[in-house]
Chain A
Amino acid sequence: MSAGGAFPVEVTRLQRLRDAGLAAVVALLLWQAVVWVTGVPPFILPGPWRVAESLLANAGLIAENAWVTIAEVMIGLLLGAALGAATALHLMMSPLARRLVLPIMVFSQAVPVFALAPILTLWFGYGMASKIAMALLIIYFPVVSTFYDGLRRTDPGLLDLARTMGAPPSRTLLFLRLPAALPAFGSGLRLAAVYAPIGAVIGEWVGASKGLGYLMLLANGRAKTDLMFASLFVLALFAVVLYAAVSAFTRRMTRWASETTDGT
């Protein structure tokens, strides 16, 4: 915030990246060392070198399956965020919706979403639809609850001000409650970015003919543990990049929040 603030921040970010890189190298070395010292067979635990080789050798196969998973996650994330935001706004506007929908939503959270995977596969088939539905279901509630919470917790002073200004409720919602709730919506989206890949992969485990989750199961069944690790690596990489991208997007959307408070 201060005039000299930009430079030190840049340095710490570089430092953080360097530290993370260093930690990753150490972990990889340790992993390779464990494999060498214990002489564990590669179908139980392949070394990182072997995984890298498998990644290169099967690049086409992995990419083909990765695209399917990425598409499922992205579509699920977009639909879930849009439906979740719409639901939260609707809950805010309609007391009837609050009375009817809120209890159902809370109750539905008691049902483990994973347990629904077989049913979703039964209904939506082995293709992408059932995985998108799974990702959507798993992120829907966090998005609704964080956004709705944010919409409800507008500074009461601002709402008083809007009232003295003669603002109708719909405009107060649009111009005060909605922007004030964006930081909360942002933390909901970041949660969603973490959960969505989990949902898609679980869906693939239950029944699929494509996708990284499917590829992992397939590789596991054929004792190609190196391929399984390579798929897992790509999945983890995608999850991290997705989180970073959503994180950057939400912080951009609510830059003002980090100036006034620390943000979330």
Chain B
Amino acid sequence: MAETPASAPGSALAPAPALRLSGDFRHAGRPLFSGLDLPVEAGRWTCLLGPSGVGKSTILRLFADLDTGGTFDGEISASDGARVAGRVAFMAQTDLLAPWLDVMGNVTLGSRLRGERVDRARARDLIARVGLADHVEKAPARLSGGMRQRVALARVLMEDRPIVLLDEPFAALDARTRAEMQDLAFDTLKDRTVLLVTHDPAEAVRLGHRIFILAETGLSEVEAPALEPVRPVEARETMDMQVRLFRALRGEPA
């Protein structure tokens, strides 16, 4: 059921741009980060790893042009020169499904919010693509946590934006479901520019073409393993990398 040829081909999509965010951010008079310079590669997965409260989500919200409750002094740019906001799909730790809509209603929410024609056939294909073909008319309350995140992923695919911002979308799932969702997301979001915020070193190692650590002391890049993502958990270099990231997160020398 995973490979339906009917699902939207990547070619319909405008080529995904590279992104860059540089500058300072102050919240309630105190700097959250300053002199930050984060590049996000075109069409690949960039992982931003770090503990809670250092501003990872703020960076995502800045890219998405959402309210941050602070002041940003700097620049957000895309390699093709167009605006970043408006070309972004967003997936959060909570599934953010509307409880009064069924799976179909949630996946097609964006079209209705913009007053566009609702392409139910395409939505149906995408719902099948995330493995929920038998649950199209179910209410979110009747789905498991993993299935709900699948609906959220189908909604992202339905939006069909070149840039995808992921804010710890797999953090609340159990280990097996999380691994399945990581595979599925990586597969379905191919060729898009993805920025994944996470506090899980294992997740960053599995998925990141490039891996950055954001800590109180600032941003630093850790060289990702030579293997292409999605990297097998049991590979030697994946495990070594995980240990190094964990140390780096704790501020120890790698």
CA of A247 to CA of B120, assembled, Å? 35
| Residue count of chain A within 8 Å CB distance of chain B | 25
Query: Shortest 8 CB-CB distances between A and B: which pairs?
Result: A167-B113, A259-B141, A165-B110, A164-B90, A256-B100, A260-B99, A157-B96, A260-B141
Is B98 a contact partner of A158 (Cβ separation < 8 A)? yes
CA of A217 to CA of B96, assembled, Å? 56
Complex interface residues of chain B between 74 and 127 (CB less than 8 A to chain A): 86, 88-90, 92, 94, 96, 98-100, 109-110, 112-115
B64 at the interface (CB under 8 A from A): yes
A257 at the interface (CB under 8 A from B): yes
Complex interface residues of chain A between 179 and 234 (CB less than 8 A to chain B): 179-180, 182
Residues of B within 8 A of A9 (CB): none
With contacts A158-B98, A179-B98, A259-B142 known, is A164 near B88, CB below 8 A? yes
| Residue count of chain B within 8 Å CB distance of chain A | 26
B66 at the interface (CB under 8 A from A): yes
CA of A162 to CA of B88, assembled, Å? 12
Is A160 a contact partner of B66 (Cβ separation < 8 A)? yes
Beyond A160-B66, A164-B64, A165-B159, 7 additional pairs, beta carbon < 8 A: A1-B141, A155-B96, A160-B64, A162-B113, A171-B115, A179-B98, A256-B139
Residues of A within 8 A of B159 (CB): 165
A32 at the interface (CB under 8 A from B): no
CA of A204 to CA of B33, assembled, Å? 68
Contact with B along A220-264 (1 / 0, CB 8 A): 000000000000000000000000000000000010110110000
Residues of B within 8 A of A162 (CB): 113
Partner of B99 from the list A157, A160, A256 (CB cut-off 8 Å) is A256
Complex interface residues of chain A between 125 and 178 (CB less than 8 A to chain B): 155, 157-158, 160-168, 171-172, 175-176
Is B141 a contact partner of A161 (Cβ separation < 8 A)? no
Is B96 a contact partner of A171 (Cβ separation < 8 A)? no
Is A165 a contact partner of B114 (Cβ separation < 8 A)? yes
Tell which of A1, A157, A164, A168 has the most Cβ of chain B within 10 Å: A164
Residues of A within 8 A of B88 (CB): 164
Is A164 a contact partner of B99 (Cβ separation < 8 A)? no
Query: What would be 29 A-B contacts, judged by CB atoms less than 8 Å apart?
Result: A1-B142, A157-B94, A157-B96, A158-B96, A160-B66, A160-B90, A160-B92, A161-B90, A161-B109, A162-B113, A164-B66, A164-B89, A165-B109, A165-B114, A171-B112, A171-B114, A171-B115, A172-B113, A175-B109, A176-B113, A179-B98, A180-B100, A256-B100, A256-B139, A259-B99, A259-B141, A259-B142, A260-B140, A260-B141
